[in-house]
Structure formats: C-alpha cells, structure tokens
Amino acid sequence: MTKDIMKPDYANNMRLIGHSDQGGLRDGIQVMVEDGFAYIGHLFSQGFSIVDVRDPANPKPAGYVKAPANTWNVHLQTADGLLLVIHGKDVFADAAFADEASYYKAAAGTALGTAAPKTARNWDAGLAVYDIASKPGEPRRIGFMPVSGGIHRIWWTGGKWAYVSALLDGYTDFIFMTVDMSDPTNPREAGRYALPGMHQAGGETPNWPANAKFGLHHAIVDGDTAWGAWRDAGLVVMDVADRAKPSLIRHTNWSPPFQGGTHNCLPIKDRDILVVVDEAVLDDFEDGLKNIWIFDIKDKANPVPIATMPPPSDQDYTQKGAHYGPHNIHENRPGSFQSSSLIFSTWQNAGVRVYDISNAYQPKEVGALVPPPPSGLMDKRPGKKKIIQTCDIFVDKSGLAYVTDYNAGLYIMEYTG
C-alpha cells in the first residue's frame, strides 16, 4: 500500500499544504513562482513543467515544454514577465555519468569534451527567453543566446543584467558571465571572469587536483558585488561595477580540510553576513558532512566564517541512504519572501530545515518537514532507492514554501513557527 503522500515522516513547526506530481514528470529541480504558476526544471525529463498553484491546496499541472534532444533545462528564473531557462547537456542521461562521482569529481570541460573540442556537440547549449506575461502559465519563446558548452544556472531579478555560469569551449569548467538583457529577444554576453588556470585554450594550467571541481555553480549579485559559489574552489567574490570587466575581490577556500561543493552564497546585506551552502552530491554519505556556513562580510575582501547551521538531529540521516546534506536555500529574491533572520533550506533525505539566524554566532533549527518516500523513481540510474531527496525551495511573499524533489514532484508547505 502506498504511503500517504501528504503525511510527513517528521514535522516540527511546518505543515504540508499541497502536492503535485507535475503531470507524471515528478523530477523537479529549480522552482520559480510567478503570477500563480510554478515553473519547474526537470533533471531526467528533458524540459520544464508549469503547475497552476493559484489554489495551493490543489495544485494542477498546466503544461510541459520539452527540451531539444540530449538537453536539460534544470535551472530557470522569472522576473519582469519573462522566464529565462538554461540549455545544457543532459549529463545524467549519459551512461558515462551513471555514477555521479564521475561527474562531480571531474572538471566539466574535460568530462563533456568542451575544454578541447574534437567532435560536434549533440546537445543544445545556451539561454532561452520566454514571455510569460502575455499568457501566464503559457510560455512563448522569444529569444535565445547560444553558449558553446551550455549554462548551468542563472541569477536574474529583472532589469538589464543577468548573470550565468557558462561552460565555454577552451575552459576547464563553468565560469562567471554577465549577460545584457536590455533586448530580451537578443540577450548577449557582456563580460566574463574565470579563476586563473581555467582558460586551457589560453595556455593556463590548473594548480588544483584533477578530482577537484573548480567551476562556478552560480553567483548571487547584490549591487556591484557578485558572490560566487565555485564548488570545490569555495567562495569567489567579484566586483561587477563594470559589467564588461568583472574582477576579483577575494577568493577563499576551505576545501581541504572541509568538504567542497559550494552551491549558494546568499548575502544578508543589512547584517553584513553571508550564508554559504556546501552541497552534498553523493549517496550514502560518501562525501561526508557538508555545511551551511555563516560568514562575516563587513570587509568583503576578507570574509570570515563565524558559524555553521546545526545538522538535523531528529534521527541519524547519515544512515538513511541516498543524498544526505544541504542542497539549496531560498535566495531572498525580490518579490518573494525576504528575511534577514530566517533561512529555508533543503537537506535531501532530511527534508526541509528552517533556521533562525537572529544570533549569527548561534544559529538554531526552528522548523522541519520530511516528506514520506516517493511513490516511485524518476531516477533510473543503477542502485537508486525510494528515498526522499528534497532539492530546491522557493518561498513566496505569503510565506508558502514550494519544494521540489528528484522523484516525488512538488510539495507546498508552510512554516508555522
């Protein structure tokens, strides 16, 4: 008998409001909510879905946009009546990456063959722009910016400038790129920044281990500062006052001795602190404890770690299986829920965790919700188990949290603390 999808395995100061199987395409990665519709990138279904969430207790599948062959649309952004969607290689459809470690322990440019291209590409690569204002819930493609190897993630809150992690021919991994969005039908590159050693075609040589992933996941930009989560290279702070020439302010890395995989760097501007997430990427606790850090950034040229969020303590999730550890946080986007003291995070097999960071030196967990096991697997890679894997979280102005899962679809939940 299938377990009740709306009955959590564990809950503290949180409750489930609604759930959607996304029209049977239950594999969800990044989620954005705009004008009553959730736009959800897929990990395995090669495209993105739209869910009508105007009634949060009864969300309804509203559409699906298929990606080109061998291409995924894992990440997307909404603002100004537009939807921006990444196009990149569908990595996990490739048998070479059935074991996740083969992707996460290698430079993307080497793994995907873009660092020194020798063959034609069989996937679509770049940034697609859709109109979602004319008919909310019915995206209409209006523009596209080709990027040689593809894009991983975007930061865009509207206006002229978008910021992407781009995989370019001749570079070892994803780098930082500024994008001019003044004409949404024709977005174009404005500038770029890469860590020294990444431009292989320019004669540079990496000075880091071959199994370290020195590539940008994405950057959050606040004013003229970009806070870059550079995976195993840690935190890269960039000056983007001149969008055509981003420059380094500070590069700091804590791996080793700590684990890498830096995924989000969220500035809390009014408090001069930065919340930094290191992502857990391997099953069965293989990559060890990953942290959510708090940094003091009074001097952005000298970020200082001052605390880590306490890991879940209601059970031993290290023994549960699948991925355990942080993945994503709600990023305080304009138009969404914004807080200087509450941090919403996904912990994969440990569900959702809410932290109170009023005292930045002593953060504490104040809410949690762990959904039940998924009804089935969208992830067809060998050895996968029916274990919850909460992925992304978006919190709207009213405080409702929209949470995706690799296998279970979209959950809508509420923090009641």
Average pLDDT score over residue span 317-327: 98
CA 259, CA 26: separation in Å to the nearest integer? 30
CA 129, CA 64: separation in Å to the nearest integer? 16
pLDDT over 70 (residue 121): yes
The percentage of residues in the chain with a pLDDT greater than 90, rounded to a whole number, is 92
pLDDT on residue 73: 98
Average pLDDT score over residue span 90-112: 86
pLDDT on residue 106: 86
Indicate the SS3 state at residue 339: coil
On whether the CB atoms of residues 243 and 190 are closer than 8 A, the answer is yes
Q: How does pLDDT run across 261-317, given as a tens digit for each residue? A: 999 999 999 999 999 999 999 999 999 999 999 999 999 999 999 999 999 999 999
pLDDT on residue 3: 63
Q: How does pLDDT run across 141-167, given as a tens digit for each residue? A: 999 999 999 999 999 999 999 999 999
Alpha helices in 56-134 (DSSP H): 101-104, 108-111
On whether the CB atoms of residues 142 and 85 are closer than 8 A, the answer is no
Going by C-alpha positions, the residue among 123, 44, 40 that lies closest to residue 85 is: 40
Average pLDDT score over residue span 122-144: 97
Going by C-alpha positions, the residue among 282, 251, 255, 278 that lies closest to residue 265 is: 278
pLDDT over 50 (residue 2): no
Q: Token pair 């040229």 is at which residue?
A: 301
Tell me the DSSP string of 19-56: EE-GGG------EEEETTEEEEE-SSSSEEEEEE-SST
Tokens of 63: 């559409």
Least confident of 2-16, 45-59, 148-162, 349-363: 2-16
Residues composing the chain: 417
Tokens of 19: 């759930």
pLDDT on residue 299: 98
Report which DSSP code applies to 373.
P
Burial 8-22 (b: 16+ CB within 10 A, else e): beebbebebbbbbbb
| Distances in whole angstroms, Cα of residue 356 to Cα of each of 82, 258, 303, 310 | 33, 24, 21, 11
pLDDT over 50 (residue 1): no
| Predicted confidence band of residue 93 (pLDDT cuts 50, 70, 90) | confident
Mean of the per-residue pLDDT values of the chain: 96
On whether the CB atoms of residues 402 and 33 are closer than 8 A, the answer is yes
pLDDT over 80 (residue 20): yes
Q: How does pLDDT run across 229-271, given as a tens digit for each residue? A: 999 999 999 999 999 999 999 999 999 999 999 999 999 999 9
pLDDT on residue 94: 83
Q: How does pLDDT run across 194-240, given as a tens digit for each residue? A: 999 999 999 999 999 999 999 999 999 999 999 999 999 999 999 99
Kindly report the CA angle at 66 between 64 and 67, in degrees rounded to 5? Answer: 140
pLDDT on residue 114: 95
Residues 6+ apart with CB under 8 A from 172: 107, 108, 109, 110, 115, 197, 198, 199, 200, 206, 214, 215
Kindly report the CA angle at 367 between 363 and 373, in degrees rounded to 5? Answer: 125
